[in-house]
Amino acid sequence: METALTPIEFARRARRLYAEREAVVDGDLRFTYAQFLERCDRWSSALQALGVGQGDRVAYIAPNTHAHLEAYYAVPQIGAVLVPINYRLLPEDFEYIINHCGATVVCAHEDYLEAVDGIRDKLTKVEHFVALEGSGDNWIDYETTLASHSPDFAAVDIDETDLLTINYTSGTTARPKGVMITHRNTYMNVMGSLVHHHLTPADRYLWTLPMFHANGWTFTWINTARGMAHVCLRRVEPPLIFKLIKEENITMFCAAPTVLIGIANAPEEIRADAPRGVRLFTAGAPPAAATIEVVERDLGWELTHVYGLTETAPLITVCEALPEHRNLPVEELAEIKSRQGVELVSSGELRIVDEDGNEVPHDGETLGEITVRGNVVMKGYYNDPEATNAAIKDGWFHSGDAAVVHPDGFAEIRDRFKDVIISGGENISSVEVEGCLLRHPAVLESAVVGMPHEKWGESPHAFVILQDGAEATEDELKHHVRDNLAHFKTPSWVSFVDELPKTATGKVQKFVLRGGKAGIARQ
């Protein structure tokens, strides 16, 4: 007997086993699992009444709220496809994504009603606009509509290869691409995460990671699978994060490295009484070992580095600490934890290959591209066969990430291939130079790109944000790199800036820095 592998199954189980446990906290609102899942059922019924059927797309533009979380159950359990949109994008991006996916319903938080109204006449396929919070002309009120419908929606047959979500990439250099994620993709990612990271109904999860970002790395379903509490966080601010960790007894959260930097460098008075023992996942960009040291040594939290892409639902690898790592000094352990690690048991096969498709030696030096095949790889890019064929070749998804494999089998990303700096014939990892700069006590953030050089062809140019009140000179930082890395990796230039250009998911836009468009240099 076979049943479809779908994350909706976790809701069925949670309803039976965790009905009276606290499921969702959103400010003053608190719902048990029975209440939360009944709300999801009512919204499923309401969507069907609005004419949403199997395969129809429902777009959401919202921060981490209870209403946004409900979409991850209400939409797919009627066979429709959820399209969570990055709310930090511009209205013209909203317009492109909504039209490209063919959404018939748009649900938006009150902060984005005006932006959607400004493009409403261009959204030709949208039949209904739903205000999750707030109100406006020709907007359906979410709470009123949900309350007026029975939880008895019409059940549908779901195949595990059906689309669950379409997640649009950030689109920093071109139009965003719609990554098609299936029910099976997501189910396997959830199971793999649970194998490698032990969670229980006693755990309480803080939503520091945007739900729209690769479906919150599937914690939208992981937490429910284990009967954990979802604690919503609408604004990612270090003081608020520390406050909720303490007041809500948070035991687990996820964060991109840019968020970790803010947490690690929060004022001492905010960090002083932070509970110890909190666990967290980080991914999105290679975290610096120096940041990991602060999180683990100073805060007493346990950090696990994972790696993946939106196209892989999203996790491929996990950097698991092995028994032989336990007695290592903090600095050495942090270096290991900054690597991407090994395959999750459910993700499929990962290989790092050279230009001819041959696996690179496990020497920690030979650079290759991360490729993967297996249960978590996307179905393809929506309505974009050309991009799909470029990414998936000979049955393997090609990530574009340049990495090495260490003798212990742990993979380590050195860069995106487009960001590897070739100086005088030598390959320089911008990530390595950035990590070295972050070990300087005056440096808060850094980004390194290749710039044209008369003698070497190109050479590293470092853009640096200093810690509040800290001082450092260009020569001082150059000497710091020279003292710790091979001399040819030393930046030829260091620019001190107030901020770094980033995508809406926190990744540094290096093409902006290379193009000299940042407009942010202090000198």
197-236: per-residue pLDDT in tens? 999 999 999 999 999 999 999 999 999 999 999 999 999 9
The pLDDT of residue 171 is 53
The pLDDT of residue 66 is 98
Q: Is 332 a residue whose pLDDT tops 90?
A: no
- Pick from 325, 314, 311, 312: nearest CA to 283: 314
Give dist(CA 335, CA 226) in Å, integer: 31
Q: Is 415 a residue whose pLDDT tops 50?
A: yes
The pLDDT of residue 286 is 65
Q: Is 365 a residue whose pLDDT tops 60?
A: yes
Going by pLDDT thresholds of 50, 70 and 90, the confidence category of residue 174 is low
Q: Is 267 a residue whose pLDDT tops 50?
A: yes
Most confident of 187-201, 275-289, 444-458: 187-201
Mean local confidence (pLDDT), 463-471: 94
The third-level CATH classification (topology) of the domain covering 236-416 is Rossmann fold (3.40.50)
Give dist(CA 100, CA 111) in Å, integer: 23
Q: 153-164: per-residue pLDDT in tens? A: 999 999 999 999
- Pick from 367, 364, 363: nearest CA to 353: 367
Radius of gyration of the chain (CA): 23
The pLDDT of residue 522 is 33
Q: 294-315: per-residue pLDDT in tens? A: 898 889 999 999 999 999 999 9
Q: Is 520 a residue whose pLDDT tops 50?
A: no
**CATH classification for the domain delimited by 420-514, as one of 3.30.300.30, 3.40.50.670, 3.40.630.30, 3.10.129.10:** 3.30.300.30
Q: Is 462 a residue whose pLDDT tops 90?
A: yes
The domains spanning 34-184 and 236-416 adopt the same CATH topology: yes
Q: 489-517: per-residue pLDDT in tens? A: 999 999 999 999 987 667 788 888 988 64
Q: Is 37 a residue whose pLDDT tops 80?
A: yes
Ranges of each domain in the chain:
34-184, 236-416, 420-514
Mean local confidence (pLDDT), 66-83: 98
Beta strands 302-308; 421-423: pairing state: unpaired
Mean local confidence (pLDDT), 32-37: 98
Q: Is 44 a residue whose pLDDT tops 90?
A: yes
The pLDDT of residue 477 is 96
Q: Is 521 a residue whose pLDDT tops 70?
A: no
- Pick from 252, 251, 245: nearest CA to 216: 252
Domain 34-184, CATH: 3.40.50.12780
The pLDDT of residue 504 is 65
- Count how many residues are written for the chain: 523
Sign of CA dihedral 305, 9, 251, 245: positive
Mean residue pLDDT across the chain: 92
Q: Is 62 a residue whose pLDDT tops 90?
A: yes
The pLDDT of residue 325 is 85
Mean local confidence (pLDDT), 231-256: 96
The pLDDT of residue 519 is 40
Which segments of 222-318 are extended strands (E)? 229-231, 252-255, 279-282, 302-308, 315-318
Mean local confidence (pLDDT), 68-83: 98
The pLDDT of residue 517 is 46
Q: What pairs with residue 494 in β-bridges?
A: 462
Give dist(CA 358, CA 72) in Å, integer: 40
Going by pLDDT thresholds of 50, 70 and 90, the confidence category of residue 456 is confident
